[in-house]
């Protein structure tokens, strides 16, 4: 009697390569392997299993309504099967996982796939595998930060996705294995971006961002230093940005508080975090240097910074 194995890992953990190497090991010992994958995986030829490191092998692609027990029986009559290997098993239905479980009465079944979707929720097939498999093991991979990758992040136009269809076929161009900490950081980045990037058009070429004012004179009271009463667009931008403001931006920046120094900052290769710190720094300086924000808006310096934030996300250049 065989066992049902579930070998899972995040995107980029070489699951398919592991499945193909497992197939090779069985074949070396003269065993007949039934290699299968769900038909929904359309990245390569339908009846071919391909790893990104270059390994490949012919396989059978099955539909979501196919009975895997019946297919096995038919194939086993033609040539005795010693083991079943299934890749992308997360796309199997609950019923198909149970069919694979039943087949372990005859042969071992090894399933390779993702545990969770881009929202961090269990796929239907993976959930059932966790519930009824005999062996559960992780194929480990690392996040860009060096920690273990556990999340399967989906990206669209450079930003992490938190909504959409559960299944959207893709590889490195769409998905990235990440640790939970980086996953949450990317979610926050997407939230920031969506909230502030609209001001790129609103603040562009704004000739008058606000008006200078002072407190009304009072007897024996020193007049307050002049300050700017900003218009509604700028107030809205400041309010939205403050939700994500960096508390100590000067620790990130190596730049003076002179307006000309701020205007001359070279934007090339400045990343999202740097630009967020730069805007936070200006809002902090505004309290001791009133009118700084007004000047940087009216000469389109702030617009240039917002363009750089957009470029850091979608990697496109803007005039």
**pLDDT per residue over 287-319, tens digit each?**
888 999 999 999 999 999 999 988 888 765 544
Q: What is the pLDDT of residue 319?
A: 45
Domain of residue 135, CATH code: 3.40.50.300
| 185 located within any domain | no
Domain extent, residue 247, equals 197-314
Q: What is the pLDDT of residue 303?
A: 93
pLDDT < 50 stretches in the chain: 318-319
Choose one of 89, 112, 139: the last residue of a domain. Answer: 139
- Are 253 and 274 in contact, with CB atoms under 8 Å apart? yes
Name 239's Cβ contacts closer than 8 Å, sequence gap at least 6. none
Cα 111 from Cα 133, distance rounded (Å): 10
Name 101's Cβ contacts closer than 8 Å, sequence gap at least 6. 4, 109, 132, 133
My answer on whether 134 and 201 are in the same domain is: no
| 186 located within any domain | no
Q: What is the pLDDT of residue 139?
A: 95
Which of 88, 245, 250, 319 is flagged as catalytic?
A: 88
**Counted domains in the chain:** 2
Q: What is the pLDDT of residue 46?
A: 78
| 308 located within any domain | yes
My answer on whether 206 and 83 are in the same domain is: no
| 182 located within any domain | no
Is 144 a catalytic site residue?
no
| 60 located within any domain | yes
78-87 pLDDT, tens digit each: 999 999 999 9
Cα 244 from Cα 96, distance rounded (Å): 46
Choose one of 98, 120, 139: the last residue of a domain. Answer: 139
| 260 located within any domain | yes
Nearest-CA neighbor of 189 among 310, 9, 286? Answer: 310
My answer on whether 216 and 126 are in the same domain is: no
My answer on whether 9 and 118 are in the same domain is: yes
Q: What is the pLDDT of residue 312?
A: 83
My answer on whether 13 and 128 are in the same domain is: yes
| 183 located within any domain | no
| Residue pointed to by tokens 């959930």 | 127
Task: List the beta strands (DSSP E) in 180-276.
Answer: 210-213, 227-230
| Residue pointed to by tokens 């992490």 | 160
Cα 10 from Cα 152, distance rounded (Å): 6
């Amino acid at each position: 009697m065989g066992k049902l194995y579930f070998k899972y890992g995040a995107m980029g953990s070489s699951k398919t390569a592991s499945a193909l190497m497992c197939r090779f090991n069985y074949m070396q010992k003269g065993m007949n392997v039934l290699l299968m994958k769900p038909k929904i995986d359309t990245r390569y030829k339908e009846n071919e299993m391909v790893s990104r490191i270059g390994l490949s092998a012919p396989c059978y692609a099955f539909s979501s309504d196919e009975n895997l027990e019946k297919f096995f029986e038919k194939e086993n009559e033609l040539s005795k099967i010693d083991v079943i290997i299934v890749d992308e098993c997360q796309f199997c239905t609950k019923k198909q996982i149970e069919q694979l479980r039943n087949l372990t009465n005859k042969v071992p079944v090894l399933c390779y796939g993702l545990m969770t979707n881009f929202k961090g929720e269990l796929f239907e097939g993976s959930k059932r595998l966790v519930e009824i498999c005999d062996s559960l093991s992780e194929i480990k991979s690392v996040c860009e930060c060096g920690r273990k990758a556990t999340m399967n992040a989906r990206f669209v136009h450079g930003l992490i996705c938190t909504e959409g269809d559960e299944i959207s076929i893709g590889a490195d161009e769409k998905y990235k294995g990440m640790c939970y900490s980086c996953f949450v950081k990317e979610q926050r980045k997407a939230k920031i971006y969506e909230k502030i990037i609209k001001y790129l058009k609103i603040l562009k070429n704004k000739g008058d961002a606000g008006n200078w004012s002072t407190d009304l004179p009072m007897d024996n009271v020193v007049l307050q230093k002049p300050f700017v009463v900003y218009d509604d667009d700028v107030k809205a931008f400041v309010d939205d940005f403050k939700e994500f403001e960096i508390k100590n931006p000067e620790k990130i920046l190596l730049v003076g508080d002179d307006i000309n120094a701020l205007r001359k900052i070279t934007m090339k290769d400045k990343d999202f975090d740097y630009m967020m710190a730069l805007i936070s720094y200006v809002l902090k300086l505004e309290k001791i240097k009133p009118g700084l924000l007004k000047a940087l808006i009216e000469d389109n310096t702030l617009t240039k910074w917002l363009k750089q934030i957009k470029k850091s996300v979608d990697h496109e250049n803007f005039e």
